[in-house]
Every structure is written in C-alpha cells, then in structure tokens.
A and B are shown apart, each in its own frame.
Chain A
Amino acid sequence: MAVINRGFGARRRDHDPRLPPGQTLVHDWPVLSAGPTPTIGTDEWAFTITTESGAEHRWDWQQLHELGVEDVVTDIHCVTHWSKLAMAWRGVPVDRLFASVDTHERYVMVHSYGGYTTNVPLADLLGRAWIATEADGAPLTPEHGGPARLLVPHLYFWKSAKWVRGMRMMPTDQPGFWEQNGYHLRGDPWLEERYW
C-alpha cells in the first residue's frame, strides 16, 4: 500500500516499542461489549471447569480466593487498536484451578455470565492466564467484567472473557462468540491476528 496522507502526523503519540503493530497507547480504559452488562453478586458467583468425562470442578468466591490471589503487572491489547501498558491486576493463576483437574483435551471454551464465549488453547492458559478480580488497585467493576474475568494478556483482549463463569474442555479448537463473528481463532496481537 503506498497511500501517504500528506499533513498527517502532527498530533502523533510517541511510538512505544512495547506496542504491537497497529496499536495505540491509551490512558483511559475503553469499554466494549456486545450487549448489556450482567450483574452478578459475589455470593452467587461460581466458576466451574467441566472435563470430557463430565466431571465438574467448582469454586465459589471464597474458594477461588483460597487458591491465592497474586499481583500481575501486564500490558493489554484490544483488537480495536487500543493498548494499555503496565496495568496492575490481581488474580488467581489458572494453573492453580487446573492442578486438581484431570483432562486429556487441549482446548477450552470459556463461558461467561450473560452468554459470552471465547475459545482458548489450554497451552495459552497454563502459566499465562489468571482469573482476575482487581484492576488498577480496585475490584473489577461490572462494565470491565467484574466480579471476575479471565485475563489472558498475550492474546487480544476479547479472549479475556468478562463475567467469567467456567471453562469446558474440548478436543478441537472451536470458535466462540467473536470468533464466529469475524474475529481470528487465536488472536495473537504480535502477528496482528485480528480477523478471519
């Protein structure tokens, strides 16, 4: 593509090498959701991992916290071109939930309150993802996915499912909500895997 926009660039932001291609640094935190914001109280909240055998592993709010919440400082990248760098989160590493789960399947469909789904390979969750309960030093607000959302910062942020309620193991990678609606099956920001 050889289109040069004469006169553009005067209001440019500083380029930061920590930004993946096509991303712009923002200092607010945009909200994007396909539908209304669900409201779930922590007293009714539960997270369930379901395996191929039908076994269900369930944690309520307190049980989640008993696994140990840790601090995470990470960059996040939205497919709509905005990124936030060095954002402070708190969450439970997904590994700690899977420690008690027996499965041979390698793919996960993540489910949220309100019906949202997204698919993630298990290898992209272990050691690289959290069930997050706080961001920027405060409990996650409902607009941003509270009481808990998945946090998978190395993939585009639509994979960090808001209002997360569980994971279902699957033998092959199947498209979740946005992946059925034009977005890339994996979503690596460094390869600009935005759309089909």
Chain B
Amino acid sequence: MSAPARVDWHVARVVRRTPETGSAVRLVLDVPTWPGNDPGAHLDIRLTAPDGYQASRSYSIASSGPGPEVVLAVDEVPDGEVSPYLVHDLVEGDELEVHGPLGRFFVWHPDESDRSPVQLIAGGSGIVPLYAMAAARESVPDGAPFRLLCSVRTPSDLFFADELGALTATRVDVVHTRAVAPGSTEMPGRLRIDSLAELTAAPSAAPRIYVCGPTPFVEAVTGWLLELGHPPAKIRTERFGGS
C-alpha cells in the first residue's frame, strides 16, 4: 500500500458482528469498492437517520491490505451518540457509509526496508490500529523486531486476545490495571515509568514508537518515554478524548 489511496465514500455491509469485550463489538465489513489500507489507518462512519439527521465518527481499522474485507472493533462510549448504535443496534446485513482510508502518519508500512525495532504501546481500545500493525507484521519475512505493550483494566477487556496470543512475530506484554486472571501471580496496577521501561525496547535500541489510547494515557506514557531518553521524533501518537 505505498501509493496513496484516494479518500472516498464507500458503502459497507456488515457481514459479521461478534462481541469483542463486555463493551465492544467486532464488525467484519464487506466494502466492494475499498482500495485497501495501510496498517494503522482509520475511516469515518457516517450514520443517517430516517429523517436525514447525520453524525460522523472516526474509527481505527483493525485490518490492512486490499479489500473488500474491512474489520473494525468499536468500544461503546458511555453517553455516546454513534458507538451505542454500532455496538447494540447494528445487525448483520445492515449497510454503513464509510469514508476512507484516512491516516498517512500513524501507519506502519509492511514493505519498508527499515529493520530498526518497532514498539507499540496501547491503552484500552487504542489497541485497534496497533493490532492491525502487528497482524500485518506476521506476513513479513525478516521484518523489524516488533513489541506490543497493552494496558487494559482486566483480561476480559483485551481486544483480539486470541489473535494476540497466536502472534509469532510480535512480543506481546499485557498490564492489567484493575484485576488479573484467576491464578495469575501478576499484581494489578497502573503502568508506571519503571514497568514501562521493563516492558518496552530501550532507547539504546532506537525503537520507532507508536502510542495509542485515551489522551491521559498517551500524555503519561509519552512523558515517561521522553524521560527514559527516547527522542520525540521517534514517537508517534494517536489520542482520543479530552484531557
């Protein structure tokens, strides 16, 4: 996907809808005119009510490569306008208007020649674009070393848990902030600068870093990364929500 794809409106049909976590749903879409997208890209979904009222929201894409299949994982925002509809009301066979692919900066190119390490850091549903990158990495022979650190409240809040467990080309570490799996010896607790340092590539490895999650998570993690000695130019962020 090295040539920039035109950004267009497309009609997507929901082929499969399955619960991802207690608050999120995985949507497999069939988008016949989709030009393909890079890992990390996103799209806008626009909903139109019967009386013509419209609302749009952006969602990261969990899949990459050529269409027509596009996979999303949507977390319900409490008091949200669009996500509750996508999570609770959408059924298989429904159509959606999507606008994309969007995003040229917070993307990873599988055909790159750079072999320096890639460090992915996800907070909650921020895992979606980073999962797309790690999934794409699986098919790259002799690609850059990949590590993924996820911070989630409990094990049942981890998106793509089965797929993450099966990755062979990415080292995955998960930090649980509220509760751990039964029988686990891990202590639950928020990520801190010392656990971040333990679970991520060191500055001496010169990793390219992608951080995605709620704004306070991204602010805290990027502050620690700078404190640990990672140069700002090597850190790309995607945030959502207010500060």
The interface residues of chain A lying within 8 Å CB-to-CB of B89 are: 7-8
Q: What 0/1 readout, one digit per residue, does chain B (51-79) give for beta carbons within 8 Å of chain A?
A: 10111111000000000000000000000
**B160 contacts A by Cβ under 8 Å:** no
- A87 CA to B76 CA, complexed, in Å: 28
A30 & B223 in contact (Cβ 8 Å cutoff): no
Tell me how many residues of B have a C-beta within 8 Å of chain A.
48
Interface residues of B in 8-55 (CB under 8 A from A): 9, 11, 44, 46-51, 53-55
The residue on A at minimum CB distance from B107 is: A181
- A107 CA to B241 CA, complexed, in Å: 33
B239 & A5 in contact (Cβ 8 Å cutoff): no
**B95 contacts A by Cβ under 8 Å:** yes
Q: What 0/1 readout, one digit per residue, does chain A (46-85) give for beta carbons within 8 Å of chain B?
A: 0000000000000000000000000000000000110000
A31 & B225 in contact (Cβ 8 Å cutoff): no
The interface residues of chain B lying within 8 Å CB-to-CB of A29 are: 242-243
- A33 CA to B237 CA, complexed, in Å: 7
Please pick, from A7, A12, A38, the residue contacting B81 in the complex, using a CB distance under 8 A: A12
Interface residues of A in 112-140 (CB under 8 A from B): 114-115
The residue on B at minimum CB distance from A27 is: B242
B48 & A22 in contact (Cβ 8 Å cutoff): no
Interface residues of A in 19-44 (CB under 8 A from B): 22, 24, 26, 28-38
A114 & B81 in contact (Cβ 8 Å cutoff): no
The interface residues of chain B lying within 8 Å CB-to-CB of A141 are: 243
- A149 CA to B23 CA, complexed, in Å: 37
Q: What 0/1 readout, one digit per residue, does chain B (220-243) give for beta carbons within 8 Å of chain A?
A: 001101100000110111011111
- Contact of A143 with B94 at beta-carbon distance under 8 Å, contacts A4-B48, A29-B243, A195-B7 already known: no
Please pick, from B103, B215, B222, B240, the residue contacting A182 in the complex, using a CB distance under 8 A: B103
The interface residues of chain A lying within 8 Å CB-to-CB of B243 are: 29, 31, 141, 143-144
- A24 CA to B80 CA, complexed, in Å: 12
- Contact of A36 with B226 at beta-carbon distance under 8 Å, contacts A31-B215, A31-B239, A81-B57 already known: yes
- Contact of A28 with B241 at beta-carbon distance under 8 Å, contacts A4-B50, A81-B56 already known: yes
Interface, chain B (partner A; CB < 8 A)? 4, 6-7, 9, 11, 44, 46-51, 53-58, 80-81, 84-85, 89, 94-97, 102-106, 215, 219, 222-223, 225-226, 232-233, 235-237, 239-243
Q: Can you list 29 A-B contacts (CB < 8 A)?
A: A1-B9, A3-B11, A3-B96, A3-B97, A4-B48, A5-B48, A5-B49, A5-B85, A7-B89, A11-B84, A12-B49, A12-B55, A13-B81, A22-B54, A24-B55, A28-B242, A31-B239, A31-B241, A31-B243, A35-B233, A35-B236, A36-B232, A38-B232, A143-B215, A143-B243, A144-B243, A182-B103, A182-B104, A195-B102
